[in-house]
Amino acid sequence: MAVGGEFIQPLLGRAMKNDRPMDHLDDWEESLVERYPAGDVPARSAAGDAFRDYSQNVRPGIREFYRLNHRHQTVDFVEAKKRQYLPLRTKRMGVWEAMEFLNTLVDDSDPDADFSQIEHLLQTAEAIRNDGHPRWFVLTGLVHDLGKILCLFGEPQWAVVGDTFPVGCAFSDKVVFPEFFAENPDKQTPEYQTACGIYSEGCGLDAVQLSWGHDEYMYHVAKDYLPAEALAMIRYHSCYAIHREGAYTHLLNEQDRELLKWVRAFNPYDLYSKGDERPNVPRLRPYYEELVAEYFPPVLDW
């Protein structure tokens, strides 16, 4: 299903009307900062009491978003979306073109937003760059959220953003709003209700199906071009149950444990780099176009 320029505006119109419990996608990322503030303390005290009850204070749109997400992210849904999108035949464009394409999501859905998606991507990348990390790490900050263009292909918010988690095995109570999994049809499949489910202990995350969204999609777009550490950052940066809460450790292998160290190193830049200072896009663009060209071909399959 190729998407040429003549089809973009109809798709945009459909995406903006498509199942939006949140005002716009940045609401989800803001909710993460509320849940995991900088300098976060352990979520539970030594006595096991809840230290911060995020679920009681969250905005109604976020609760409804996760109700939909946890209801609809099933094994069958994930497999269907992989069949639909992972041939990567929806669109062909370069990385900077994809950034400009993603910008239309904000322009159409929230014209009064202070920052464009390009500016947010550059904020993340510049924070990484200023701390002296390798060039591939900087580039990962630039491209990690480009999979959100799924919204512009007509996907609802709950199938694009949100915390990711394994499907095909028992849902962990460390996933945000675990009570909403009661509505998930997979709860009625006994094979999916054991700790390992359809997987085996220590099988590794590469063998595990995660809930569908921008992370998995962007991983497949980029997997032939970036190092393993960068790909882990892209693929697992929303999997907070694993990299922040310590769930599903029985599915990890040694390679996962090493790569998740890079995901945790990336996480502060993803959550806390959005500040008040606007990046100068025209000034920064030549540097980032050169960096993109170092790793990616001029045109990618999406």
Amino acid in position 35: R
Distance between first and last Cα of the chain = 11
Q: Who contacts 27 (Cβ-Cβ below 8 Å, separation ≥6)?
A: 59, 61, 62, 65
For residue 109, the model assigns a pLDDT of 37
* Residues listed for the chain: 302
Cα Rg of the chain (Å, integer) = 19
For residue 39, the model assigns a pLDDT of 63
- Give the other-Cβ count within 10 Å of 212's Cβ: 28
Q: Who contacts 254 (Cβ-Cβ below 8 Å, separation ≥6)?
A: none
Give the long-range contacts of residues 119-122, CB within 8 A, separation 24 or more.
Answer: 119/278, 119/279, 119/281, 120/26, 120/145, 120/274, 121/145, 121/146, 122/279, 122/281, 122/284, 122/288
Encode 136-201 in three state secondary structure: HHHHHHHHCCHHHHHHHHCCCHHHCCCCCCECCCCCCCCCCCHHHHHHCHHHHCHHHCCCCCCCCC
Output phi, psi for 97, to 5 deg: -60, -40
Q: Who contacts 231 (Cβ-Cβ below 8 Å, separation ≥6)?
A: 219, 222, 223
Output phi, psi for 101, to 5 deg: -65, -45
Amino acid in position 167: V
Please state, in angstroms and rounded to a whole number, the distance separating the CA atoms of residues 28 and 102: 16
Output phi, psi for 175, to 5 deg: -75, 140
For residue 34, the model assigns a pLDDT of 84
Cβ atoms of 146 and 99 within 8 Å: the answer is: yes
Q: Give 50's strand partners.
A: 44
Q: Who contacts 50 (Cβ-Cβ below 8 Å, separation ≥6)?
A: 43, 44
For residue 65, the model assigns a pLDDT of 95
Task: Write out the chain's pLDDT in tens, 302 residues.
Answer: 333 333 333 333 333 344 789 887 888 888 888 888 876 543 433 333 333 456 667 788 999 999 999 999 999 999 999 999 999 999 999 999 999 999 987 544 343 446 788 998 999 999 999 999 999 999 999 999 999 999 999 999 999 999 999 999 999 999 999 999 999 999 999 999 999 999 999 999 999 999 999 999 999 999 999 999 999 999 999 999 999 999 999 999 999 999 999 999 999 999 888 776 889 999 999 999 999 999 999 999 99
239-273 as b/e, with b when 16 or more CB fall inside 10 Å?
Answer: bbbbbbbebbeebbeeebeebbebbeebbebbbbb
Helices and strands (DSSP H and E) totals, the chain: 13, 2
For residue 52, the model assigns a pLDDT of 43
Output phi, psi for 93, to 5 deg: -165, 160
For residue 246, the model assigns a pLDDT of 97
For residue 108, the model assigns a pLDDT of 40
Q: How many CA atoms lie within 13 A of 40 on its CB side?
A: 18
